[in-house]
Copies of this chain bind each other. A is one copy, B any other.
């Protein structure tokens, strides 16, 4: 479904969001430990999210990553996916055709559109604050 970069990015950002909601910033080491992802590789992913103003990085001792609280309910999962994987998962043809739309559909087009749209809907309607507030951390995990 998603690339490893995107999987690590999504897990990381959900974790950072949970921690930022409690006013605690988290280091790369803490994040990669918490979401069970390779540290150096995760660093690259977080750099991309930082450059794109999704998260804020703080250098130096006691540094780490945070998400500013006012951004929590504007950042959607689709923003993260778009940065890390592009939006081809929910725009491109299931059979891999370059041209496939209403006007010139592949045999699976109409059925595929439904699946794609449901995924798109899911990613575009889920904000970080929803993931932080609607879910108890006891029930939902990020690291197995």
Q: A residues engaging B (CB < 8 A)? A: 1-2, 4, 7-8, 10-11, 14, 77, 89, 92, 94-100, 104-109, 111-112, 114-115, 118-119, 122, 126, 131, 135, 139-144
Are A14 and B107 closer than 8 Å at their CB atoms?
Answer: yes
Are B143 and A97 closer than 8 Å at their CB atoms?
Answer: yes
Query: Which residue of chain B has its CB nearest to the CB of A130?
Result: B107
Give every chain B residue within 8 A of A105 (Cβ-Cβ).
139-141
Are B96 and A142 closer than 8 Å at their CB atoms?
Answer: no
Are A108 and B89 closer than 8 Å at their CB atoms?
Answer: no
Contact for A118 among B8, B115, B140, CB less than 8 A: B115
Give every chain B residue within 8 A of A139 (Cβ-Cβ).
105
Are A7 and B95 closer than 8 Å at their CB atoms?
Answer: yes
The CA-CA distance from A85 to B117 in the complex, in Å, is 22
Are B144 and A96 closer than 8 Å at their CB atoms?
Answer: no
Are A140 and B4 closer than 8 Å at their CB atoms?
Answer: no
Query: Which residue of chain B has its CB nearest to the CB of A100?
Result: B144
